[in-house]
């Protein structure tokens, strides 16, 4: 408890720095000048997109082709330049969006200067500034407390200790901690890069492309490809220079033609582009993605835990009724409520509603002698007064089922009001000191304060979306379970009719997880219990998202797979959340989920196309080495096929809508499809090539053989594209047919035939090539169906 003369009249306060003192500190560079970084710098973006392992490989091969010619065999080099430029442009676009959103979502502490408090940006704080603290505020720089009024600070983000620490004037505070209860002010002693906040903010707000299963999986695949390429390329080089010893230029071209398609050069680019476009799309909805993998993570979520206040309901409340108990005087009770409002300089939403209904001016002659700030662990607050007649009184305001003994007759009335979805607080008198742990066990109930919460207009539609997408919503609140259940029932949440009081939850993780799986609404949940509930759900294999806006949500937000904070929430919640809804719109969440599913699902699709090419390229190289024959394709042929069957379609498929929930084991699932597809494509193309070699001879025979093999390979790759594009929509069907039409144009237009060295001769070999492709397509469909059945069984 904090003693002071009169909580209704502000005590003498330190004025803080003067404007002249601030100016002198700015001149000396004593400013909290840590930049807000929400993305990589421009130079980092350029380096990351240009200087890659595969750009170096492709660039080297391109230089080789420039030496031996002709230029059409070096088309793959221009494709790489275009891809890199697109990647840089999209990430710069995402950077601009994120930087602007980060400024909007930046914490703005209240700083006292010249005796007046005002919000300023964290980068404007100077050494010696006096920074005020309220419940939910984050300590943004290191300092020493000048004022403390029942100040409790949570330092769990620094020490791992969940229990809040009571602070007094003179105590040190470190950035990264946050206020749980009470208020105060501290003097900044370390700013800029000297403060611990410099490290914390840099990590918390960084826009990163790492620690994502998707990107890690692609990196693993690329590592495998690199290891496969080295021996295969060496064997291919020796083979081609052996069989083409009379024409070294042709040997070089066909060697490059064999090595180039092994590189899935567009896969990393397409992943970056898909994520970047996702960030831009969400940015337009005022959604700040503080960590890029959050888009991917929310797509994998199957349980979303919602805090009622600020998520299902709006922050504001209204007092609808005051019900007197045991014959208490209503006028005196109104004065008590006014004095309670006057005693707390940092009211929460419930007390603010009371202040609006009972103006503090009506209790000007009440002298405060002590306060007990509200704590979500206690579920009540308190204040002590000397009343105008000289009487000393101590009052508690909080949850009726916490302050009243079980079976009290007033609880029946509370339950009835809770059933209607109303929130009820009990005003009671106690004879014990406010800071006595037993103060709530011997109270005299005075009145029930009935509050009505404002439902968010978009909450019902959002809950319905989650139900349709097989995402289970769990409402976890510190309020009365019955009241929370009534609110959730109004919004149509399945299972809301059977709310659970968290005070009766089993302590064991396994037993708690069982209850959580069966229930949907949980009330009277303490902050530590929220954290335990997230852990219990995760122990069952669930991917858990947690939404919230208050200090009591911070621990759970930090432990959840994905933390989502409202923009109007406390600075502490915004600091630990991966996603911040800047416009406080709960209805934005479905768009975030949908964006994540679109990115993950579509990248999984297009990765199959890229890796199918890698598999058949390695297989063809091995077959050529074994048979000791010229490689069947020139670089221009594979550039054409890659563009028509992978590059262009993959771009459209990667940006298409996709509602399928993301599943784990990305690499295994992609390779399960790409490996048989690549083997079948490689074998059918090689079979056509051997048949054509048997049929054609003499001058121009190699070009005719290559053309036949190219026809088969194109038909097989289109078949893979047609499978990947399922389920069909009109634009997907049009996309596949457009690619087929593009290849036909190359075959029939004379100058394109010459440019790509493609000319089908006679009828027997071309139709045989089509027949071999048809047989390969049947085998491909059988293999694909078999893999899908296994995949479905594994998922079940």
- Enzyme catalytic residues: 307
Distant-in-sequence, close-in-space partners of 269: CB < 8 Å, separation ≥ 6: 49, 83, 84, 86, 87
Distant-in-sequence, close-in-space partners of 164: CB < 8 Å, separation ≥ 6: 152, 153, 154, 180, 181, 375
Cis peptide before 727 (omega within 30 of 0): yes
Tokens read off for 341: 């409002």
Q: Is 398 helix (H, G, I), strand (E, B) or coil?
A: strand
Strand 500-501 versus strand 521-523 pairing type: parallel
Contact 342, 7 (CB under 8 A): yes
Determine the Cα–Cα distance for residues 38 and 32; give it in Å rounded to an integer.
17
Q: Which residue has the tokens 């009290």?
A: 408
Q: How many CB atoms lie within 10 A of CB 373?
A: 25
Half-sphere exposure of 117 (CA within 13 A, CB side): 13
Give which of 658, 503, 558, 691 is closest to 176, Cα–Cα: 558
- Give the phi and the psi of residue 70 in degrees, each rounded to 5: -80, 170
Strand 579-581 versus strand 287-289 pairing type: antiparallel
Burial 411-447 (b: 16+ CB within 10 A, else e): bebbeebbeebbbbbbbbebeeebeeeebbeebebbb
Contact 276, 93 (CB under 8 A): yes
Determine the Cα–Cα distance for residues 466 and 464; give it in Å rounded to an integer.
5
Tokens read off for 674: 């790409």
Mark out the alpha helices in 244-379 (DSSP H runs): 248-259, 265-284, 293-300, 330-343, 349-357
Q: Is 578 helix (H, G, I), strand (E, B) or coil?
A: coil
Give which of 403, 399, 338 is closest to 7, Cα–Cα: 338
Tokens read off for 263: 């590189």
309 DSSP 8-state letter: B
Give which of 613, 793, 718 is closest to 225, Cα–Cα: 613
Determine the Cα–Cα distance for residues 298 and 634; give it in Å rounded to an integer.
44
Contact 96, 2 (CB under 8 A): no
Contact 526, 505 (CB under 8 A): no
Torsion of the alpha carbons at 544, 548, 551 and 554, rounded to the nearest 10: 20
């Amino acid at each position: 408890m904090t003693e002071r003369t009169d909580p209704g009249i502000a005590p003498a306060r330190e004025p803080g720095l003067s404007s002249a003192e601030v100016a002198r500190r700015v001149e000396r560079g004593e400013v909290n000048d840590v930049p807000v970084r929400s993305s990589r710098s421009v130079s980092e973006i350029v380096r990351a997109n240009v200087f890659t392992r595969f750009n170096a490989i492709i660039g080297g091969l391109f230089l080789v082709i420039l030496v031996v010619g002709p230029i059409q065999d070096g088309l793959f080099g221009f494709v790489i330049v275009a891809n890199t430029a697109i990647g840089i442009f999209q990430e710069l676009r995402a950077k601009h969006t994120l930087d602007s959103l980060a400024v909007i979502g930046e914490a703005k502490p209240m700083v006292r200067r010249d005796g007046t408090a005002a919000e300023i940006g964290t980068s404007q704080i100077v050494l010696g500034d006096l920074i005020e603290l309220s419940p939910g505020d984050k300590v943004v720089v290191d300092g020493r407390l000048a004022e403390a009024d029942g100040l409790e600070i949570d330092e769990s983000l620094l020490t791992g200790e969940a229990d809040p620490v009571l602070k007094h004037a003179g105590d040190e505070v470190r950035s990264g901690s946050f206020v749980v209860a009470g208020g105060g002010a501290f003097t900044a002693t370390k700013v800029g890069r000297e403060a611990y906040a410099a490290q914390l903010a840099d990590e918390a707000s960084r826009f990163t492309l790492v620690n994502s299963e998707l990107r890690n999986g692609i990196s693993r695949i690329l590592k495998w490809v690199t290891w496969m390429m080295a021996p295969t390329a060496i064997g291919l080089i020796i083979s081609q220079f052996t069989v083409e010893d009379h024409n070294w230029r042709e040997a070089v071209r066909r060697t490059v033609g064999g090595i180039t398609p092994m590189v899935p050069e567009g896969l990393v680019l397409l992943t970056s582009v898909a994520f970047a476009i996702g960030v831009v799309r969400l940015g337009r909805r005022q959604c700040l993605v503080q960590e890029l993998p959050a888009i991917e993570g929310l797509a994998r979520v199957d349980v979303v835990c919602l805090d009622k206040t600020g998520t299902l309901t709006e922050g504001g409340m209204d007092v609808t009724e005051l019900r007197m108990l045991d014959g208490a005087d209503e006028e005196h009770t109104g004065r008590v409520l006014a004095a309670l409002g006057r005693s707390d300089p940092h009211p929460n939403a419930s007390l603010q509603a009371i202040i609006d209904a009972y103006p503090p001016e009506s209790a000007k002659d009440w002298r405060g002698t002590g306060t007990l700030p509200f704590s979500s662990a206690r579920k009540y607050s308190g204040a002590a007064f000397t009343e105008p007649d000289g009487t000393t009184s101590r009052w508690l305001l909080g949850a009726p089922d916490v302050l009243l003994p079980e079976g009290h007759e007033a609880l029946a009335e509370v339950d009835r009001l809770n059933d209607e979805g109303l929130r009820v607080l009990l005003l009671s008198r106690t004879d014990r000191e406010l800071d006595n742990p037993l103060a709530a066990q011997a109270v005299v109930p005075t009145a029930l304060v009935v509050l009505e919460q404002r439902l968010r207009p978009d909450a019902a539609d959002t809950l319905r979306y989650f139900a349709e997408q097989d995402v289970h919503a769990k409402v976890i609140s510190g309020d009365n379970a019955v009241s929370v259940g009534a609110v959730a029932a109004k919004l149509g949440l399945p299972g809301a009719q059977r709310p659970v009081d968290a005070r009766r939850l089993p302590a064991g993780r396994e037993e708690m997880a069982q209850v959580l799986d069966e229930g949907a609404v949980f009330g009277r949940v303490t902050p530590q219990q929220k954290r335990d509930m997230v852990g219990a759900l995760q122990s069952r294999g669930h991917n858990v998202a947690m939404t919230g806006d208050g200090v009591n949500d911070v621990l759970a937000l930090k432990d959840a797979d994905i933390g989502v904070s409202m923009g109007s929430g406390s600075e502490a919640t915004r600091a630990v959340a991966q996603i911040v809804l800047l416009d406080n719109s709960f209805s934005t969440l479905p768009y975030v989920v949908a964006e994540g599913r679109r990115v993950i699902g579509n990248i999984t699709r297009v990765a199959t196309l890229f890796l199918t090419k890698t598999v058949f390229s390695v297989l063809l190289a091995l077959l050529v080495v074994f048979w000791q024959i010229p490689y069947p394709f020139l670089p221009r042929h594979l550039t054409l096929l890659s563009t028509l069957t992978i590059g262009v379609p993959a771009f459209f498929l990667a940006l298409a809508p996709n509602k399928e929930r993301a599943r784990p084991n990305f690499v295994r699932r992609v390779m399960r499809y790409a490996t048989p597809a690549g083997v079948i494509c490689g074998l059918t193309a090689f079979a056509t090539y051997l048949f054509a070699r048997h049929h054609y001879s003499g001058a121009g025979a190699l070009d005719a053989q290559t053309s036949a093999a190219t026809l088969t390979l194109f038909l097989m790759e289109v078949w893979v594209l047609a499978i990947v594009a399922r389920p069909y929509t009109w634009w997907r069907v049009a996309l596949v047919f457009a690619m087929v039409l593009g290849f036909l144009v190359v075959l029939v237009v004379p100058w394109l035939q010459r440019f790509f060295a493609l000319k089908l001769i006679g009828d027997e070999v071309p139709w045989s090539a089509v027949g071999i492709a048809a047989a390969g397509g049947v085998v491909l469909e059988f293999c694909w169906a078999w893999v899908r059945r296994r995949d479905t069984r594994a998922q079940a």
